[in-house]
Structures are given as structure tokens and as C-alpha cells.
Structure 1
């Protein structure tokens, strides 16, 4: 007996081909979307984990900085307690302790507050008949003159536009701005000093002294007595 092969009418072959083509397209599109979603989720997860890692490291660093600050404050207090005990036991140590305290004030290791003076330096009014406008601008040389005079007169702490100075402070004037230890301040420049106001005023206002010298350089100088000046320790400003 011969086997008879099932014949599909030619009219039925076309719909089956179309259905197969559509199914293939749907499967391919679904796989593409799934792959893209997987890659996006993987990227987001990686970024999130990296951010969490940085956050944890930052928190740990802040906690460590806080511990170090507290440890430093404890050691400073311990040193001062020892110094005070030495003063109580031996009167001749008092001078050394006072000198150490003054050195700490000068380097900005402890807070300084008290009476003092403020010296403001303002650019002079430019005269168009003059050739060089720089002759009417405050330069670092003018600032240094005031600072040196205040130090010689016994100022225990000095600041420029609120930025406290230390032994190795870097000061530079560039046109209308001044750079103090990397921080930029606009003119006018106000130099404050904590110390005996009567001594400081007499020093800067001395005939032929700082005020007269700067005035002759076309700089406007304003000197004021201050009843209270507060300068935080440099480490407090840093933190």
C-alpha cells in the first residue's frame, strides 16, 4: 500500500509563514528589551554600591577626625594643667608659662580675644594726571608694614579681613583683592590686632610712622580702637 503525503493547500502556507515571522520578531524584540533592562539595572546597582562605599568612607573619616580633635584637645588641656601645677609649685616657672602662652597666641594655637585696634587700608582716589594707577592701590608692602608695626608693638594676635595670621602666613595683593593663606578677600583691607589699644594706637600714629608713610603713598588709612576683638584658634577655622 502506498503512503499518501498530506498536502497543505498553497493558500494555507502564507498565513503560517506570516505567523512564524511575527513570533520571531516578538521574541527578538523581547530579548533585546530584556538585555537592555538588565544592563541598566547592573549599571545602577554598581553606581549605588560605589556611592555607598564613598559615604561609608567619608563617615569613617569624619569620625576619625572628631576622635583626633578630641584627643588633641585633651592633650592640650593636660599640658595646661601641668603648667598650672608648675606655677603653683614654683613661682620662677611663671615667666616660662606666660611665654609659652604668648607663643601659642602668636601661632594661633589657642583663641585670642580682648581689646585692640583695627587699621583699614583703602585705595586712594586715582588722579588721571598721574601716569601709573598702581601708585594709588594698596600693595602687600603696605600690608606688611602695618603687620610688622603691630607685632613690634606687642599685638598677641593679628587678622586680615577676619583671616587670622600665623607665623608662616602667605600674603599677596593682586589689584583689588588680597590672598591670605589661599583665601581671597576683596578691598578694603582691615587689619585687626588684639593688644593694649593705647600702645598700639601710639605706635601706628607716631609722627613719621606707618600712618604717615602710607598716606604719603596715596593710601587712605583709617585707625579705630576696638573694645572687643575675637579671633578663634586656627584649627577651629580649619575644621
Structure 2
């Protein structure tokens, strides 16, 4: 190789190393000036979520107390005579029907959870309990005449929906984990019958459970107690239709 080629090679290498040095220096000072590590930001986000959860639980506790005060006033009014007493009794009946008060009675309990073993060569999603599986069971119980339903302690009302955020099931904006316990108050024989007769519920509780190893337990329970709904009742997208 000629002297000219050696010099050309050395010059090219020198230029490459200079550019590389500039890039490394720029990256170092930029990282030093702007901390882009995910740690602090993640910690701030976790702290923010924790504060919001504490505030939400505090407001729920206050709301529970206010509703208890309203219930006492309504009971006092119900004992009075005339239109006020009749109105208070009607309000009490509507609250029971809408899930705003606790409910006691005979019913059934359905417990379902993910498969214990997932084969390595299979889709793991098939071995999990999903939101739509739970919705199918709840819908069947309503059709079977259930007077009240709860899922892991969350009471169902007209605005309740079962959703999935990632692998987490959400009910009344509360994250729930398995096993999932569905409690329904109503005629025990009718509720058991509808779960065996409804094609979708039968598929989840029998076919899927057998094929994918989902853990299912259905039993009759005397004296169930469902909690009152404790969430918000604010409707943002509702209008009164003119008669």
C-alpha cells in the first residue's frame, strides 16, 4: 500500500473517531442535563396514583356517611302520615330495587378462576377468565330472575359494566382479581337452572372449564348479604325525553 493510501486511511479513521467522540460527549451532557431515566418519573406516577386512591377512598367514606344520614331522615319521614310518608316509603322501595341499599336473601354463589396449569405450546389467554366470561354469567343470572348481584363485593346497578384493562377486570371502576365470586339473590332453583340452560353460560361454566381447566364452583347459599352500591350516580349523557 502506498504512503498516500496510508495517510488517507489514517485521516478517515481520525475523522470517524472525532465524530464518535462528539456524539458520545453530546449524549453524556444531554443525559446529565435532562434526566431521562424512567425511575423518577415512574415513582412520581405511582405516588400520584396512591394519592388519588387515598382521596377516592376518603370521599367514598364521606359519601357512605351522607347516605346513611339521608336514610335516617327518610325513615323518619316514612313514619309520618300523609304524602311525605308515602313518598319516603316509595323512595325506600326504589333504593332497594336500584341497589342503593344492602340486600339479604337466599341465592347462589358462582366462583370462577384462571386455570392452574397452562401448557407451554398453547395460547395463555384461553386459560384466563375474561370480562366477557363474567358478563355472560351475570346476564344469565339476571334473566334467571336475580333480585341483586355482586361481583367480589361490587354491587351491580343500572350503570355497572364489566371491563378489562390489560389483564385486570374492572367493575364500578374498581380493579378486581381472581378468583371471581359472583353472588346472586333470588330463587335458587331458577338461578341454577338458567346457568345450565343458557347456551353462553353453559359454554363458559362447562365447555370452557373442561377444555381449558378453568376452576368453577356453583353452590346454593342461604342468607346471602349483598352490599349497597357505593359509587357515583352522576349521569353525564342522559336527557329527559319530552312526552
The residue that corresponds to 1:203 in the other structure is 194
User: Does the alignment pair 1:231 with 2:226?
Assistant: yes
Task: Sort the Cα spacing of 1:208 and 1:165 in 2 relative to 1 into closer, same or farther, 3 A.
Answer: closer
Structure 2 gap segments, 5+ residues each: 1-57, 234-243
* Rounded Cα–Cα distance in structure 2 between residues aligned with 1:67 and 1:135: 44
The residue that corresponds to 1:126 in the other structure is 118
Structure with max Cα Rg: 1
**Superposition map of 1:19-58 within 5 A:** none
The residue that corresponds to 2:95 in the other structure is 104
8 Å contact kept, 2:172–2:231: no
Output the aligned Cα RMSD: 3.7
* Rounded Cα–Cα distance in structure 1 between residues aligned with 2:64 and 2:195: 42
The residue that corresponds to 1:91 in the other structure is none
8 Å contact kept, 2:140–2:198: no
Q: Give 1:157 shift.
A: 0.8
* Rounded Cα–Cα distance in structure 2 between residues aligned with 1:123 and 1:231: 24
User: Does the alignment pair 1:149 with 2:140?
Assistant: yes
The residue that corresponds to 1:178 in the other structure is 169
| TM-score, normalization by structure 1 | 0.56
8 Å contact kept, 1:177–1:187: no
SS at match of 2:160: coil
The residue that corresponds to 2:31 in the other structure is none
* Rounded Cα–Cα distance in structure 2 between residues aligned with 1:208 and 1:143: 14
User: Does the alignment pair 1:167 with 2:158?
Assistant: yes
Aligned residues: 164
| TM-score, normalization by structure 2 | 0.55
8 Å contact kept, 1:109–1:234: yes
Structure 1 gap segments, 5+ residues each: 1-57, 87-96
The correspondence for 1:220, drawn from 212, 215, 218, is 215
Task: Sort the Cα spacing of 1:203 and 1:68 in 2 relative to 1 into closer, same or farther, 3 A.
Answer: closer
8 Å contact kept, 1:114–1:227: yes
Task: Sort the Cα spacing of 1:194 and 1:65 in 2 relative to 1 into closer, same or farther, 3 A.
Answer: closer
Alpha-carbon displacement from aligned partner over 1:112-148 (angstroms, at most 9, x marks no partner): 1011001111112322232x21011111110100110
Alpha-carbon displacement from aligned partner over 1:73-111 (angstroms, at most 9, x marks no partner): 32366358779x87xxxxxxxxxx7xx83x533421222
